[in-house]
Amino acid sequence: MGRFGQAAVVGALGGAAGTTALNAVTYLDMTLRARPPSSTPEDTVQVMLDRAGVTLPGDEDSRRNRLSALGALSGIATGVGVGVAASVLSTLAGRRPGSGTALALGAAAMAASDSSMTSLGVTDPRTWRAADWAADIVPHLAYGAAAAGVLRLGAARGSAR
């Protein structure tokens, strides 16, 4: 496997670790504040399906379950994709992940998810309260920390060869 293939694998692993951290922090927040889950992932998928003229098969309950799953899968795809992009770009630039990598990865993952939801009209961050921002920023910081840790390990492993 070439260095870019290896970078993509390390990035996918970093993105998966980051996504797991993001989900854990989100579920912890839901537990502590007894808040319901966000509907924005499902709402975003629904808008995309509507625009594509696609209807999920099954009765109402089946469609709702499929939509919930697709919302979760879209979050996983975003997290893994950001990790792959960061790792490959780092390899292209000839740079190892540095001290600002965690913050940059968290911001990139947040921008990737929030920009699509905003552009599709699912949410408007200008209307968010402080608690809404915290519920978005803190899990994305956890994403960035976990993903950056894996990218650093991958870079260290790659340079040891």
| Domain range summary for the chain, segments of one domain joined by + | 3-41+79-159
- DSSP label of 151: H
Is the pLDDT at 160 greater than 70? The verdict is: no
pLDDT tens track for 30-78: 999 999 999 999 999 999 999 999 999 999 999 999 999 999 999 999 9
Q: Is the dihedral of CA 137, 110, 105, 72 positive or negative?
A: positive
pLDDT tens track for 111-128: 999 999 999 999 999 999
Please count the helices (runs of H) and the strands (runs of E) in the chain.
5, 0
CB 64 within 8 Å of CB 55: no
Q: How far is CA 31 from the centre of its chain?
A: 20
What is the per-residue pLDDT for 156?
81
More confident residue, 157 or 33: 33
Counting other chains too, the contacts that 132-136 makes at CB distance below 8 Å and 24 or more residues apart are 135/26, 135/29, 135/35, 135/38, 136/110
CB 22 within 8 Å of CB 147: no
Q: How many CA atoms lie within 13 A of 10 on its CB side?
A: 26
Which residues are CB-contacts of 46 (< 8 A; sequence separation ≥ 6)? 67
State the first-to-last Cα distance of the chain, in angstroms, to the nearest integer.
Answer: 13
pTM above 0.85, yes or no: yes
